[in-house]
């Protein structure tokens, strides 16, 4: 009898165990599965991608002011700009660790001008970041920021109008500005040279022009974005794009059409190689970006509707292409020139042969990208038109990513310009860094 009771007891235990196993299996089956790291559409394009990490830049929502800067990489950190429109109308920079997105330091613009300023062009020398803040028609603020600590090493407000992007070369930097001082006030736009480590700066060169001057509230010409480089003969040169606008007959006001010129200056001999090579006629805008050097030629873009390549040392035009919207940014990828068009209802990205200008591929794009980066043959950009993050094969034009807002409720996706790329190590894929004005993201690269 005792044996039968024992068998019944063991049977009850066995049945209970089986029931627990079944219930546990059902629980595991019903448990919500983790979201996939990528969502791919029927065309094979990645349309959603989980970031490796993301960080909030602000505790609460801030109104937007456009940024013209991209994130930069320095040592083991990534630094991103952001902008907000509040009572201070201030700008900020944040530094995060590359691996985890841990905040290291932050920097806030100290001057807090009443103008809705724009951070424009910048460059790095050792641990110093040179930054210029476009302040409208009266003055521009310049900063040197220590990237190790986020502290301002020096800053200066410089009277003048329309300072172009900052181009850093060695321990000097260059930019163009309409001087406020005599004898140039209201007449010419000059190229300035500044010392990276101090506030010292002076007019370096005034291009040889006939009609550049300033009328009330109207620029009749511009000098924009000088480019300094070392030539094959080890001579240091400066390329200077400038325009002269035409006047309405009998008036002091421009027609908004003019001629675009290029000058090449030998900085060692202190003389021009050529001072006024005609590049394009009846243009509406200047280059507005630092020109691109390819072998022995220079490629200009963003001059409204022309992309032009000309001989670097003679100024002779080699080829030019017409586009309804012009170009917005370019990058060279394995001897293919990848171009993103300007804003418009119908805009595209192109692959061009830099030797001939021949179109190799074309792809519809949502708008314009202010900055394109390349990693392992893939070009990445944030699109101003459709607010997407694109990844495209630079050689074929194949679309790899078109990522929308990972946080739709934020209404902030890709409202700051540009991306940064970091190569991978030990066979791993690299990383892509991109920001909105509210958040900062780190993604695994496509390759």
Tallying the residues shown for the chain, one arrives at 447
Beta bridge partner(s), residue 123: 130
Label residue 210 by pLDDT band (50, 70, 90). Answer: confident
The per-residue pLDDT for range 127-158, each reduced to its tens digit, is: 888 877 666 556 678 888 999 999 999 988 88
Cα–Cα distance measured from residue 374 to residue 380, given in angstroms and rounded to the nearest whole number: 6
Which of 334, 327, 412, 399 is CA-nearest to residue 370?
Answer: 327
CA distance 404 to 276: 45
Q: pTM higher than 0.75 for the full model?
A: yes
User: How many percent of the chain have pLDDT more than 70?
Assistant: 66
Q: What is the largest CA-CA distance in the chain?
A: 124
Confidence of residue 324 (pLDDT cuts 50, 70, 90): low
Q: How far apart are CA 303 and CA 418, in angstroms?
A: 20
Query: For 99-122, what is the mean pLDDT?
Result: 67
Question: Minimal CA–CA distance to 344: which of 363, 327, 322, 357?
Answer: 327
Measured in whole angstroms, the distance separating CA 314 from the mean position of its chain's CA atoms is: 30
Max avg pLDDT among 13-27, 49-63, 124-138, 255-269 = 255-269
Label residue 250 left, alpha or beta by phi (over 0 means left) and psi (-120 to 50 means alpha).
Answer: left
Q: What is the mean pLDDT of the chain?
A: 77
pLDDT of residue 29: 45
Listed range (103-112, 340-349, 376-385, 388-397) with the worst mean pLDDT: 340-349
Above 80 in pLDDT, residue 31?
no
* Confidence check: pLDDT of 328 > 80: no
Q: What is the pLDDT of residue 366?
A: 65
């Amino acid at each position: 009898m005792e044996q039968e009771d024992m068998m019944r007891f063991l049977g009850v235990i066995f049945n209970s165990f089986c029931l627990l196993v079944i219930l546990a299996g059902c629980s595991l089956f019903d448990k919500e599965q983790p979201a996939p790291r990528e969502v791919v559409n029927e065309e094979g394009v990645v349309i959603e991608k989980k970031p490796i990490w993301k960080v909030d830049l602000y505790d609460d929502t801030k109104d937007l002011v456009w940024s013209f800067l991209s994130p930069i990489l320095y040592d083991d950190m990534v630094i991103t700009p952001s902008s907000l429109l509040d009572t201070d109308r201030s700008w900020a920079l944040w530094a995060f660790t590359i691996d985890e997105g841990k905040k290291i330091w932050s920097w806030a613009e100290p001057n807090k001008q009443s103008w809705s300023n724009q951070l424009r062009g910048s460059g790095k020398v050792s641990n110093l970041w040179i930054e210029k803040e476009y302040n409208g028609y009266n003055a521009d603020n310049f900063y040197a920021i220590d990237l190790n600590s986020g502290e301002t090493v020096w800053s200066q407000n410089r009277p003048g109008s329309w300072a172009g992007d900052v181009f850093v070369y060695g321990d000097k930097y260059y930019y163009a500005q309409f001087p406020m001082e005599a004898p140039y006030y209201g007449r010419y736009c000059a190229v300035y040279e500044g010392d990276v480590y101090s506030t010292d700066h002076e007019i370096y060169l005034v291009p040889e022009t006939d009609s550049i001057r300033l009328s009330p509230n109207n620029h009749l010409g511009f000098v924009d974005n000088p480019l300094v480089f070392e030539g094959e003969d080890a001579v240091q040169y400066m390329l200077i794009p400038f325009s002269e606008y035409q006047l309405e007959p009998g008036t002091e006001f421009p027609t908004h059409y003019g001629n675009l010129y290029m000058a090449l200056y030998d900085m060692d001999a202190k003389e021009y190689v050529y001072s006024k090579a005609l590049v394009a006629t009846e243009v509406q805008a200047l280059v507005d970006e630092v020109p691109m050097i390819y072998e022995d030629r220079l490629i200009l873009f963003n001059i409204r509707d022309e992309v032009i390549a000309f001989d670097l040392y003679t100024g002779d035009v080699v080829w030019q292409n017409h586009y309804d919207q012009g170009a917005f940014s370019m990058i060279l990828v394995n001897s293919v020139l990848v171009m993103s068009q300007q804003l418009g209802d119908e805009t595209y990205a192109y692959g061009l042969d830099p030797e001939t200008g021949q179109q190799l591929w074309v792809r519809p794009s949502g708008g314009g990208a202010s900055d394109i980066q390349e990693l392992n043959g893939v070009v990445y950009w944030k699109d101003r038109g459709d607010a997407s993050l694109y990844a495209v094969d630079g050689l074929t034009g194949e679309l790899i990513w078109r990522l929308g807002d990972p946080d739709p409720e934020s209404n902030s996706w890709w409202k700051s310009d540009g991306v940064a790329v970091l190569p991978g190590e030990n066979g791993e894929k690299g990383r892509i860094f991109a920001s909105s004005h509210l958040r900062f993201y780190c993604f695994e690269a496509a390759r």
